[in-house]
C-alpha cells in the first residue's frame, strides 16, 4: 500500500484555545469551534497515526501521553503537571488537547521542531513524517505574526500583514511552495513563532496542491490565526 | 475552579441556606441595605417613601444583590419606634418585595420577635438581629417559620444604645463566646443550623479599636465553621480611622470589605451594591474561587 498523508489540520497554538483560560467569558468560541471542526475532519480522515507538530525550543519527540500544563498559564486552575515527564510545549499540549476533545484514541506522535531549525531540517522532518505509517494525519499547530497592530503582543510591524497574507494564500490555495521559502529572519522579527512548523508541513505535503477549507482566518487579538483543513493525497 | 487554591481555608465551612437558595463556602454574598426609616445614619431617609424604597430594591437587584435587608428602626438612639410602627413600616413592604421578587432572599433587620413574626409571615427569609438576641424569643420565631437568624455580638448592650467606656479583656474572645453561644442556643430552639450566621457587629458595643481588632481577627470567626456576616458599610469606626465624614467613607468601607472577605466572611451588608460586588468578585478571583470575567492578555 502506498503511504498517504490523509490530510493536515491547522490550528493556532494560542493558549486561549483552552476554554478555561479565558475565564467566565468564552471570548472567541468561533475560533474553538473552527479548530474542533478541522480536527474532527482530521480524525475522520482515517489516519492510523496522527502527528502533532509545533514549534518549540528544541526538536524532540515527546511522550504520547504528555499533557499541557494549564497551571503554567493559570495557577488557580490547578492541575499542575507533575511526574518524571516534563509538560508538553504549548503547541503540542494544545494539539494533544484538541485530539482528546475530538475523541481520538489512536496512536499519536508529538513532534516539536526547534524554532531556530533551518528550513532544510524542517522540510526533512516533514518528509520523515510520511514514513510513520500507511495513513498519516497531521495536526499542525502554527500561526502567523503577533505584530499585526498596535495592540498586538509584539506591537505593530508594517510588514506583518503582507507576511500573513502570503501565509493565508498558500494555505487557502494548497500551494505550499511559499512556505518552503519562508524567510526565517523575517518570521522571527514578526514574532511568527510557527515558521518552523509551517515548513515541516511543507515538507510533509511536498509537491501537493490541494485547496484548503479555511474555517477561521483573522487576527482578533493582534495575532494572525488560521484554522484550516488541507485534504491529503497519496504521497 | 479547583480545590488547590483555597480548600484549606474553606474547609469546615458549611452550605448556607437562605430562603429556597443554597450558597457554598466560596460564594460571597451582597446584602443590600434598604431602610424604611426617615432617619438612618447614612441614607437619611432616602427610602422612607415606599415607592422610593421599592425603586431601591429594583436597583440593588439589578446591581447583583443576593439579599435585601429591610429595616424599620435605626440602630442609633433616637425617637422611639413602637412595634406597631415598625410593623407598619416594614411588613407591607416586605410583602410587596416578596411579590415582586419571589426568589430574592429577604432579610429583615429587627431585634423584636413580634415584628419578626409578622415579617416572616410576609415572606422574610432571614432575621438579621444586630443586638445579640436581646429579645430571647427571636429564635423561636425563626424556628417556627424556617427562617434564618443572625447571631451578633453587641457586647450585651441593649438595643439602640451606644457603647460608653466599653472594655474587653479580649474582644474577639468575647465575640466568639457570645455569638457561638447564641448560635448554639438557636439550634437548640429549633433553628435550622444551615440558616444561622454569626456577625461581629462592628461598632455595636465596640469602640473603633475594638472594631479594627475584630476585623483583623475575623478569620477566628470563620474558623468556627459558622458563616460570617459583616456589616461595615460607612460605619463610625471607618470614619474615626480615616477622619472621614459620612460622605467620605466609601474607600474605607471597601477596604474593610476586602479584608473581611479575604479572612472568610461570606455575607456583606452594604449600601453600595455595585462597588461591593466588584470588591468581592476581585477577592474571590484573587483567592481562586472565581475565574476572571474575561482573560485574554498574554493568551492570544
Give one DSSP letter per residue of B171-210, joined into a string: HHHHHHHHHHHHHHHHHHTT--GGGEEEE--TTTT--HHH
pLDDT of residue B70: 97
- Bridge partners of residue A209, in order along the sequence: A175
Contact list in A for residue B5 (CB cut-off 8 A) is 76, 78
Q: What is the DSSP string of chain B?
A: --STTTHHHHTTPPPEEETTEEE-TT--EEEEEEE--S--TTTTTTT-SHHHHHHHHHHHHHTT-SEEEEESS-SSS-S---HHHHHHHHHHHHHHHHHH-SSSEEEEE---HHHHHHHHHHT--EEE-SSSSSSTTHHHHHHHHT-EEEEE--TTPPTT----S---SSHHHHHHHHHHHHHHHHHHTT--GGGEEEE--TTTT--HHHHHHHHHTHHHHHTTSS-BEEE-TT-HHHHHHHT--GGG-HHHHHHHHHHHHHTT--EEEES-HHHHHHHHHHHHHHHTSS--S---TTT-
B298 close to A (CB below 8 A): yes
Interface touch B299/A223, C-beta < 8 Å: no
pLDDT of residue A234: 53
For A16, name the nearest residue in chain B, comparing CA atoms only: B299
Contact list in B for residue A76 (CB cut-off 8 A) is 1-2, 4-5, 285, 288, 291
Interface touch B291/A15, C-beta < 8 Å: no
Interface touch B1/A73, C-beta < 8 Å: no
Contact list in A for residue B4 (CB cut-off 8 A) is 76, 78, 80
Residues A76-95 have a mean pLDDT of 87
Percent of chain A with pLDDT over 70: 97
Distance CA A24, CA A215 (A): 25
Query: B41 near B162, Cβ under 8 Å?
Result: no
**For chain A, how many structural domains are there in total?**
1
Among B162, B206, B153, B157, which residue's Cα sits nearest to residue B181? B153
**Enclosing domain of residue A45:** 4-234
| pLDDT greater than 70 at residue A235 | no
Contacts of A32 (CB under 8 A, 6+ apart): A17, A19, A26
Interface touch A74/B295, C-beta < 8 Å: yes
Nearest by CB: A27 against B4, B290, B294: B294
Residues in chain A whose Cβ is within 8 Å of chain B = 14-16, 20-25, 27, 73-80, 146, 153, 220-223
Percent of chain A with pLDDT over 90: 85
pLDDT band for position A85 (50/70/90)? confident
Among B81, B136, B70, B134, which residue's Cα sits nearest to residue B104? B70
Q: What is the ipTM of this complex?
A: 0.86
Count of C-beta atoms within a 10 Å radius of residue B59: 14
Give the gap in angstroms from C-alpha B265 to the nearest C-alpha of chain A. Answer: 21
Give the gap in angstroms from C-alpha B106 to the nearest C-alpha of chain A. Answer: 28
Nearest by CB: A222 against B3, B5, B300: B300
Nearest by CB: A221 against B291, B292, B300: B300
pLDDT of residue B105: 98
pLDDT of residue B2: 40
Distance CA B285, CA B292 (A): 6
Interface touch A76/B1, C-beta < 8 Å: yes
pLDDT 10s digits, B238-257? 999 999 999 999 999 999 99
pLDDT 10s digits, A28-48? 999 999 999 999 999 999 999
pLDDT 10s digits, A165-206? 999 999 999 999 999 999 999 999 999 999 999 999 999 997
Mean of pLDDT over chain B: 93
B184 close to A (CB below 8 A): no
Interface touch B293/A73, C-beta < 8 Å: no
pLDDT 10s digits, B141-182? 999 999 999 999 999 889 998 888 899 999 999 999 999 999
Nearest by CB: B4 against A23, A24, A78: A78
pLDDT band for position A94 (50/70/90)? very high
B54 close to A (CB below 8 A): no
Nearest by CB: A78 against B3, B298, B299: B3
Pick from A108-112, A156-160, B42-46, B74-78: least confident: B42-46
A vs B: CB pairs below 8 A: 58
> Which backbone phi and psi does A222 adopt, to 5 degrees?
85, 5
pLDDT of residue A86: 84
pLDDT of residue A41: 97
CATH number at residue A142: 3.40.830.10
pLDDT: which is higher, A102 or B45: A102
pLDDT of residue B4: 37
Contact list in B for residue A22 (CB cut-off 8 A) is 294-296, 299
B288 close to A (CB below 8 A): yes
Regions of chain B with pLDDT less than 70: 1-11
Mean of pLDDT over chain A: 94
Cell match 430594591: residue?
B57
Collapsed DSSP state (helix, strand, coil) of residue A142: coil
Amino acid at each position: 500500500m502506498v503511504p498517504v498523508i490523509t490530510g493536515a489540520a491547522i490550528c493556532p497554538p494560542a493558549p486561549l484555545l483552552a476554554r478555561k483560560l479565558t475565564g467566565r467569558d468564552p471570548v472567541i468560541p468561533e475560533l474553538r469551534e473552527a479548530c474542533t471542526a478541522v480536527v474532527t475532519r482530521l480524525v475522520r480522515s482515517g489516519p492510523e497515526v496522527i502527528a502533532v507538530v509545533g514549534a518549540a525550543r528544541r526538536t524532540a519527540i515527546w511522550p504520547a501521553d504528555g499533557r499541557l500544563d494549564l497551571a503554567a498559564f493559570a495557577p488557580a486552575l490547578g492541575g499542575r503537571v507533575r511526574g518524571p515527564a516534563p509538560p508538553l510545549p504549548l503547541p503540542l499540549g494544545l494539539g494533544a488537547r484538541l485530539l482528546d476533545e475530538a475523541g481520538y484514541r489512536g496512536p499519536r506522535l508529538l513532534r516539536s521542531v526547534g524554532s531556530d531549525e533551518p528550513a532544510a531540517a524542517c522540510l526533512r522532518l516533514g518528509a520523515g513524517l510520511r514514513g510513520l505509517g500507511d495513513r498519516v494525519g497531521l495536526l499542525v499547530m502554527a500561526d502567523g505574526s503577533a505584530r499585526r497592530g498596535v495592540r498586538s503582543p509584539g506591537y505593530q510591524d508594517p510588514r506583518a500583514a503582507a507576511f500573513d497574507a502570503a501565509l493565508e494564500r498558500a494555505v487557502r490555495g494548497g500551494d505550499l511552495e511559499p512556505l518552503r521559502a519562508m524567510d526565517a529572519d523575517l518570521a522571527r522579527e514578526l514574532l511568527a513563532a510557527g515558521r518552523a512548523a509551517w515548513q515541516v508541513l511543507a515538507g510533509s505535503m511536498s509537491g501537493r496542491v490541494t485547496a484548503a477549507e479555511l474555517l477561521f482566518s483573522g487576527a482578533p487579538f493582534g495575532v494572525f490565526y488560521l484554522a484550516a483543513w488541507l485534504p491529503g493525497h497519496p504521497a | 475552579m479547583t480545590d488547590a487554591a483555597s480548600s484549606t481555608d474553606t474547609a469546615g465551612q458549611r452550605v448556607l441556606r437562605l430562603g429556597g437558595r443554597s450558597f457554598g463556602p466560596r460564594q460571597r454574598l451582597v446584602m443590600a441595605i434598604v431602610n424604611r426609616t426617615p432617619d438612618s445614619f447614612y441614607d437619611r431617609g432616602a427610602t422612607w417613601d415606599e415607592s422610593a424604597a421599592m425603586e431601591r430594591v429594583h436597583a440593588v437587584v439589578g446591581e447583583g444583590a443576593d439579599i435585601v435587608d429591610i429595616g424599620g428602626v435605626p440602630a442609633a438612639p433616637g425617637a422611639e419606634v413602637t412595634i406597631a410602627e415598625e410593623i407598619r413600616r416594614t411588613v407591607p413592604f416586605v410583602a410587596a418585595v416578596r411579590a415582586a421578587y419571589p426568589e430574592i432572599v429577604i432579610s429583615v433587620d429587627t431585634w423584636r420577635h413580634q415584628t419578626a413574626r409578622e415579617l416572616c409571615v410576609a415572606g422574610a427569609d432571614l432575621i438579621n438581629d444586630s443586638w445579640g438576641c436581646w429579645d430571647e424569643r427571636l429564635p423561636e420565631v425563626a424556628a417556627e417559620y424556617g427562617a434564618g437568624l443572625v447571631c451578633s455580638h453587641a457586647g450585651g448592650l441593649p438595643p439602640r444604645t451606644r457603647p460608653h467606656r466599653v472594655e474587653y479583656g479580649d474582644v474577639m474572645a468575647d465575640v466568639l463566646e457570645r455569638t457561638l453561644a447564641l448560635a448554639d442556643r438557636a439550634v437548640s430552639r429549633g433553628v435550622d443550623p444551615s440558616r444561622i450566621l454569626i456577625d461581629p457587629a462592628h461598632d455595636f458595643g465596640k469602640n473603633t479599636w475594638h472594631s479594627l481588632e475584630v476585623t483583623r481577627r475575623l478569620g477566628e470567626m470563620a474558623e468556627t465553621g459558622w458563616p460570617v456576616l459583616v456589616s461595615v458599610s460607612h460605619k463610625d469606626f471607618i470614619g474615626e480611622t480615616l477622619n472621614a465624614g459620612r460622605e467620605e467613607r466609601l474607600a474605607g468601607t471597601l477596604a474593610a470589605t476586602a479584608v473581611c472577605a479575604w479572612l472568610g466572611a461570606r455575607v456583606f451588608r452594604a449600601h453600595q451594591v455595585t462597588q461591593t460586588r466588584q470588591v468581592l468578585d476581585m477577592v474571590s478571583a484573587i483567592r481562586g474561587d472565581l475565574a476572571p470575567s474575561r482573560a485574554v492578555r498574554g493568551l492570544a
